[in-house]
A and B are shown apart, each in its own frame.
Chain A
Amino acid sequence: MNGASGWLCAVLLLGMVALCLLLPATTRRRRWAGALLGLLSLLLMLVEVLLPLVSWTAQAVFWVLAAVTIGAAVAAISMTKPVYTAVWFGLSLLGTASLLLFDGAQFLSIATVAVYAGAILVTFLFVIMLAQPEGRAVYDRITWRWYSKAAAALVAAILMGILTLALDRFARTEVPWAPALEQLDVLHPAHMARFGGELFSKHLLSIEVAGALLLVALVGAISIMIQSGRSPGAPPERMEP
């Protein structure tokens, strides 16, 4: 049983410490230590906590994808310059899209890349350019005091611990499910047709509402921009570093 208490403890602890060390407001030496610890904990997780898949290739692919995603995510939150954060986030998005593809959600993986990496990330980069042209500021180099980082890492560790324990139980007690892969509807070759059929038959109303939501968001964003542009606040002479 892979979610054994000892290993889980070790992984969580290591991960916590790693995160605390990696986050900004540390010296370079500490960040290297944090990176090493983080790698170690990631390795431990991959080997001891995750369950083995059906074949070695599948396992290897999954491990690589998972490592890339998680690594990129950790890197994203520990960068001092926001542009780097965005770039690492983009890598994490690619990792996520690959994972989705690996799981058989082809449309969604492409949609993730297109919408998230293509639109949302670019919008973020534009805003950084507009609001913080010098690229880095004081408040990027530091965060809150040490207890905030510890508390946040602890919360994340607890969350992961709960999830792992619950999954252990699930993995042990769940009745094994044994249909053939070909019988899964979500893995049907005509994935897009099935997906579209499901979407526009059972969730038609939601589609319409989503469309309306997009429209409202568009109009709202424009109106907020116009109004805040007209606000009587004096325009700033200079952006603070």
Chain B
Amino acid sequence: MNAGHEVALLHNYLLVGGLLFAIGLVGFLVRRNLIVLFLCAEMMLQGISVSLVAWARYVDDWGGQILVLFIIVVAACEAAIAMTLILALARRSNKLDMLAWQDLREANVAAYVDREVPEERAPSATWPTLPPAGVQPPVDEQAQLYRNHV
């Protein structure tokens, strides 16, 4: 009974960890914002951590958990350096787009350009307008307090 439980636990945790890793991988390959890219990289590391801890429990070795600790340490360092680099890049190209940095391509390969861009939803807020006779316009508190976008 216990054995089945341990095996099942390991099996499940490994799957979840793998799934986290896979999702993080997809995000890393697909998204174009540099920040989101690194967030997905951190997600991959999370998946690894889950798998390591599962193994540590199964084989009864502290090493897995200690490795996860060091992963956390390294992730922190990596995040620090990555942020400074991203800021430097953003300063040069005025945006956080991965597309801006494709100059390492070969000479006979054309640059990637975006073809269709889905239009942005028009902001639903209407700006206040002054009535003609100096009357104070009605104020929508909810609208002023709770904007629907950041």
Touch test A–B (CB under 8 Å): yes
- Interfacial residues, chain A to chain B (CB-CB below 8 A): 19, 23-27, 45, 49-54, 58, 62, 66, 69-70, 73-74, 76-77, 81-83, 85-86, 89, 92-93, 96, 99-100, 103-105, 107-108, 111-112, 115-116, 119-120, 123-124, 126-128, 130-132, 135-145, 148-149, 151-153, 155-157, 159-160, 163-164, 167, 170-171, 174, 176-181, 184-187, 194-195, 198-199, 202-203, 206, 210, 213-214, 216-218, 220-222, 224-225, 228, 231, 233, 235-236, 238-240
Mask for B33-77, Cβ within 8 A of A = 1, else 0? Answer: 101101110110010011001101110111001101110111111
Could you tell me the distance in whole angstroms from the C-beta of A3 to the nearest C-beta in chain B?
A: 9
- Contact at A198–B66, with CB atoms within 8 Å? yes
8 example contacts (A-B, Cβ-Cβ < 8 A) are as follows A76-B40, A92-B46, A136-B149, A138-B114, A138-B117, A186-B60, A220-B84, A224-B88
- Contact at A103–B118, with CB atoms within 8 Å? no
Q: Which residues of A contact B23 (CB under 8 A)?
A: 19, 70, 73-74, 77, 156
Q: For the complex, would chain B's binding face be called helix, strand, loop or mixed by DSSP majority?
A: helix
> Is B111 at the interface (CB under 8 A from chain A)?
no
Could you tell me the distance in whole angstroms from the C-beta of A162 to the nearest C-beta in chain B?
A: 9
Q: Size class of B's contact patch?
A: 35 or more
Q: Which residues of B contact A139 (CB under 8 A)?
A: 32-33, 95-99, 114
- Contact at A51–B12, with CB atoms within 8 Å? yes
Q: Which residues of B contact A213 (CB under 8 A)?
A: 73-74, 77
Whole-angstrom CA separation of A19 from B12 in the bound complex: 21
**Number of A-B residue pairs with CB-CB distance less than 8 Å in the complex they form:** 307
- Contact at B87–A53, with CB atoms within 8 Å? no
Whole-angstrom CA separation of A72 from B62 in the bound complex: 29
> Is B126 at the interface (CB under 8 A from chain A)?
no
Whole-angstrom CA separation of A64 from B11 in the bound complex: 17
| Besides A141-B118, A228-B84, 19 other A-B contacts (C-beta < 8 A) | A51-B7, A53-B9, A66-B16, A77-B43, A96-B50, A99-B16, A108-B65, A137-B96, A139-B97, A140-B36, A152-B26, A159-B25, A164-B15, A186-B60, A194-B62, A199-B62, A213-B77, A225-B87, A225-B88
